[in-house]
Chains A and B, each alone.
Chain A
């Protein structure tokens, strides 16, 4: 596994080049914002995938890490005037510490039970934040408008800086995910997921590697939360800590393909596109149409393609040669 696969590297660089040039072609701010939303979703999906995909521990409470990131960087910036660049890292560290404290007892739980525990933890934190005076409760926190520029990570004239920051964050998250996938930890994860008993018998400490997975996953999820706070300049429990946020993060990865490096990126592209277009086509939220489309999509993927869109693509690639062969036979 030490050889670098040249075509893959070239493909990855081409993809990156495309992403770098895209907003220079698409200059409409609304469309640039749409691209930013896709990259934000992709970054969260890739981060979730590290624990939910590679290590197979289904978290339905990732909003808690997202919220920790958003609240940590925002509070540090409001109270201490700390730059969000550092606040982002601080949020990541706090979320990682929290995830380890949470994971240590919860990893004893299997399957549904673990998922349920993560929902409970996220809901409890949401209740606590909603009732916290220090964190302004349900009112939420606003970042001051005046302070713009790179150091403050606030940009009022153009969307471009936000685009490149989240693209950078996505690339770093994908690289971290890739490094884990290729390392011995990645093998252990797959072993834990597919053959937990065998892995244990071989002396793989399940809990230790699950803790590594959730620490890394929550770190990047929190950074995504800090980015959201900087972009929106306003956070409240409903926007960063709600169960809906957790579901969306997990769904992006599942839609694209759990346990694949770029599946979540694909998932984000599809999910955000459908979400935005159903909103445009069927009017604003409240009619329920966007929920219906969203739900049908979830059910279809769950029932017909547990491996997500990546699974469908693999299946297609596997079938095309055999179809070609058949065609040749006929000819």
Chain B
């Protein structure tokens, strides 16, 4: 393998890995705050992609420009999902929690299929289209934009959680709900906020991914399992962990796909999930 090829593979892995990190940060935030695994997270991403697509198809607005609207819409969806369903199952058995978000996943897919047909749709041209050539390696500008976006979102989220009053309250709820309540933090609104922010992150992810990936009702399934791997590897609830884990998973996927064959990519990544669960269940940066 030549050095150029090696570098090309590494860069591809890094770019895709940052996109996985972007999908995973929202998931890990929700889990960290309330110990619920959101199986419908891929569908938040899907909704973000459709919001971008319709903004483009109906009004000719670029997904990158409509991103704030997409994020706001998804924030609303996240809060709504929390208020209507999740709020009622906080203390329910784990089985109910799993199936409630699983049901949501199927519900969103069904609704998308019903209203928008199962067809694959594409954002045909975007501000960030085209390829970038750096010496001997080449990559897509949309992927690069998405990767930069991922870094931005993770940094922004980190700043919010550690440097703002509201963010610290959220973080406090994640660490110890009882103690946070005693300090006068309203647990319920923190949970709703976590769902809103988590969904908004997925929405931003959707907007960025929509610039280079086909959009269809089941598109979330391409990302959700990998997002789980990233969350587990990074440590449930750790934003920074998810960031690094995303990169690791992306690189392993691309390198593994190159060595073993691209059709085994998913199997390689899922084997990594099993390995991490069994050897180090708390992940790279998990707390406990």
**A325 close to chain B: CB less than 8 A:** no
Docked-complex contact A128 and B98, CB < 8 angstroms = no
Q: Mark B71-109, 1 if CB is under 8 A from A, else 0.
A: 000000000000001001100111111111011111101
A182 / chain B contacts, CB cutoff of 8 Å: none
Within 8 A of B (CB), among A254-312: 254, 258, 286-292, 294-299, 301-303, 306
A299 touches B104 (CB 8 A): yes
In the complex the two chains form, is A295's CB within 8 Å of B103's CB?
A: yes
The answer to whether B95 touches A121 (Cβ under 8 A) is no
In the complex, what residue of chain B is closest to A294 when comparing beta carbons? B106
B113, A258: Cβ atoms under 8 Å?
no
Smallest Cβ-Cβ distance to A114: which chain B residue: B277
Q: Is the CB of B114 within 8 A of A117?
A: no
Chain B: CB-nearest residue to A58: B95
Pairwise interchain contact B278-A291, C-beta atoms closer than 8 A: no
CB distance from A251 to the nearest CB of B (A): 7
Contacts of A301 in B (CB 8 A): 99
CA distance A132 to B264 in the complex (A): 11
> Is B129 among interface residues, defined by CB-CB distance under 8 A?
no
Among B96, B107, B232, the residue within 8 A (CB) of A296 is: B107
Interchain CB contact (< 8 A) of A127 among B37, B93, B113, B266: B266
Within 8 A of B (CB), among A20-58: 52, 58
Which of A8-16, A63-71, A104-112, A223-231 is found at the contact surface with chain B? Answer: A104-112
Rounded to whole angstroms, the CA-CA distance of A299 and B98 in the bound complex is: 10
How many angstroms between the C-alpha atoms of A177 and B214 in the bound complex?
Answer: 47
Is the pair A299, B266 in contact by a Cβ cutoff of 8 Å? Answer: no
Shortest C-beta distance, B229 to chain A (Å), equals 8
The CA-CA distance from A312 to B173 in the complex, in Å, is 35
Contacts A288-B113, A299-B85: A123 and B266 contacting too (C-beta < 8 A)? yes
Q: Which stretch in B136-144, B178-186, B201-209, B267-275 binds the other chain?
A: B267-275
Which residue among B92, B118, B225, B267 has the maximum number of chain A CB atoms within 10 Å of its CB? B267
**Residue count of chain A within 8 Å CB distance of chain B:** 43
Q: Name A289's contact: one of B106, B114, B267 (CB within 8 Å).
A: B114
Q: Is the CB of A302 within 8 A of B92?
A: yes
B43 to chain A, nearest CB (A): 11
Nearest chain B CB to A271 CB, angstrom units? 13
Q: Is residue A191 contacting chain B, with contact meaning CB distance below 8 A?
A: no
The distance in angstroms between the C-alpha atoms of A289 and B266, with both chains bound, is 30
Q: Are B94 and A111 in contact (CB under 8 A)?
A: yes
Question: Which of these, A58, A119, A289, contacts B225 with CB under 8 Å?
Answer: A119
With a cutoff of 8 Å between Cβ atoms, the chain A residues found around residue B225 in the complex are: 119-120, 123
Residues on A with C-beta less than 8 A from B217 are: 288
A247 CB within 8 Å of chain B:
yes
- A237 nearest CB across to chain B (Å): 12
Q: Is the CB of B113 within 8 A of A296?
A: no
Q: Are A303 and B100 in contact (CB under 8 A)?
A: yes
Say whether, besides A58-B98, A106-B278, A109-B281, A124 and B270 are in contact (CB < 8 Å): yes
**Which 4 A-B pairs have CB atoms at the shortest separation, nearest pair first?**
A288-B113, A291-B110, A298-B103, A295-B107
A-B contacts, 16 of them at CB < 8 A, read A112-B94, A112-B98, A113-B277, A120-B225, A121-B274, A128-B267, A130-B263, A254-B95, A287-B113, A288-B110, A288-B217, A296-B103, A296-B107, A299-B85, A303-B88, A303-B89
Q: A60-B98, A295-B104 are in contact. List 9 more A-B contacts (CB 8 A).
A: A113-B232, A119-B225, A120-B274, A286-B113, A287-B114, A288-B113, A302-B96, A302-B99, A306-B96
Instruction: List chain B positions with a Cβ less than 8 A from chain A.
Output: 37, 85, 88-89, 92-100, 102-107, 109-114, 118, 217, 225, 228, 232, 261, 263-264, 266-267, 270-271, 273-274, 277-278, 281
